Amino acid sequence: MQEIDQLYWVWLSTVPGIGAKRFYKLLMAFGDPKSVYETAKGEETLIKKILGNSCADRLLSSINKESLEKAEQILSSADIRVMTLNSKDYPPLLKAIYDPPAVLYLKGQELNTSSGSIAIVGSRRSSDYGRMSAKKLAYELAQCGVPIISGLARGIDTYAHRGALEAKSGYTVAVLGCGFNYIYPPENKNLYEKIIERGTLISEYPPNTQPLPGNFPARNRIISGLANGTLVIEAGVKSGALITVDFALEQGRDVYALPGNFNSPFSKGTNELLKQGAKIITSVDDILEDINVEKKLNPKPASKIPVLDLFETQVYNALETGPKGIEQLLEMTGLDSGRLNAVLTLMELKGIIKKLPGKTYKIEWTN
């Protein structure tokens, strides 16, 4: 009976234009997707009132044997699992949000977000400092048994997933903005496959759904909805990561932010979040207490992430492309020699950079 019910849930999710809100409106009117399939053609006026004319026409034209067979192919796929809103194992945190996805498609390991999961998000365009911070924090949280949720996007998302997978028994969930038949971005193919081996891929979109721009803001509510809290590593003022933050706040979840230099465009959004009351993060200890995860699960003490001032950021940015000598750093940073030497000494003491032979410096701090 469960598979028969799921068949109609999958069918309805494959109708173009039927998102979560329209799906629920149909459930409220008809009771369940099977009833929609069986009675909608006799209720065309009601269907058009609920969906609008064009979407109603698409639904009505999808009530046929071929559409059901396509849904059955998805349901019988060996590597795809289907979870519907009435499934016993539907994530309770996600079910509690305003518009949870009616159907979830899953690949990889069994979904596990019961251990105080944390979403880590940030800009696709990010600094080396931001990417390393995302990887480091994700790694240390995953070492403590915390599931890491992100969106498999370029930049911060990618490094959050990588950090989680590098931890012993680390686990991560990637929420996609497309169907499983598309890997987006394509350069994350290897990461995509590693997540299947060690984590879980999730999408509310059927397998053949292309990565259309409009899909990604909607998927952000799932990223925050699966997590106890959302950590923003780097975000510009117009970053899509801030959409996830808005969802997290609407869902009553904690929001954390890693402070950044006030002069960096990558940190303007995160610094603004801190001004608005987000919790400041400089180590995983700042999160573990909130989600009731014992620090003793961490095999080594959580290390602090260095917060760079304006001059340190200039030097750090100059060294991102590789080791540099004093003359190059003077030219690239615009600092006078006295200021530069003082900054270099302090950064070396902090363990952020390392002095090489010939008065050359390189970035030392990594995850």
pLDDT tens-digit map of 59-85 = 999 999 999 999 999 999 989 999 999
pLDDT at 96: 92
Buried-state track 10-31, b at ≥16 Cβ within 10 A, e below 16: bbbbbbeebbbebbeebbebbe
User: 150-209 pLDDT, tens per residue?
Assistant: 999 999 999 999 999 999 889 999 999 999 999 999 999 999 999 999 999 999 999 999
pLDDT at 351: 82
pLDDT at 337: 87
pLDDT at 303: 56
Task: Report, as ranges of residue numbers, the positions in the chain whose pLDDT lies below 50.
Answer: 1, 296-301, 367
Is residue 110 a contact partner of residue 87, using CB atoms and an 8 Å limit?
Answer: no
Among 68, 67, 53, which residue's Cα sits nearest to residue 17?
Answer: 53
Residues 6+ apart with CB under 8 A from 61: none
pLDDT at 3: 62
pLDDT at 206: 95
pLDDT at 334: 86
pLDDT at 154: 92
User: 274-287 pLDDT, tens per residue?
Assistant: 888 889 988 888 89
Number of helices (H), then strands (E), belonging to the chain: the values are 17, 12
Average pLDDT score over the chain: 88
In degrees rounded to 5, what are phi and psi of residue 38? -80, -25
